[in-house]
Amino acid sequence: MTDPITIRTDHGPLSLPRGCTVAQALDTLARQHPTATTEGVATAVNGQFVSRQTRLQHVLQDGDALLCFTAITGG
């Protein structure tokens, strides 16, 4: 068994299996923090936007920062 990784989130550190993707991290975050908003949010890893279409392919690394945010529009 490989060592887990730890990423930083809005809800504190999150331990995940090595090779975990952004999509899997969002699922884990929602299970561990039921009040976490993970539906209909935009995501960024280390300040770089990660689209919904690439969340399943974007593999997280130990120490990454995952940010979930609601896009604000208007004028």
pLDDT of residue 1: 53
Give the domain range for residue 61. Answer: 5-69
Report yes or no on 16 lying in a domain: yes
- Nearest-angstrom CA–CA distance, 47 and 65: 8
Report yes or no on 19 lying in a domain: yes
Burial of 62 by CB count in 10 Å (0-12 exposed, 13-18 middle, 19+ buried)?
exposed
- Give the number of domains in the chain: 1
pLDDT of residue 19: 96
CATH of the domain at 30: 3.10.20.30
- Nearest-angstrom CA–CA distance, 11 and 75: 30
Report yes or no on 75 lying in a domain: no
Report yes or no on 74 lying in a domain: no
Written as tens digits, the pLDDT of the chain (75 aa) is 578 999 999 889 999 999 999 999 999 998 988 777 777 889 999 999 999 999 999 999 999 999 998 767 666
pTM: 0.88
Are residues 61 and 4 in contact, defined by beta-carbon separation less than 8 angstroms? no
pLDDT of residue 36: 74
**DSSP letter string, 44-60:** EETTEEE-GGGTTT-B-
Q: What would the two tokens of residue 10 be?
A: 């809005």
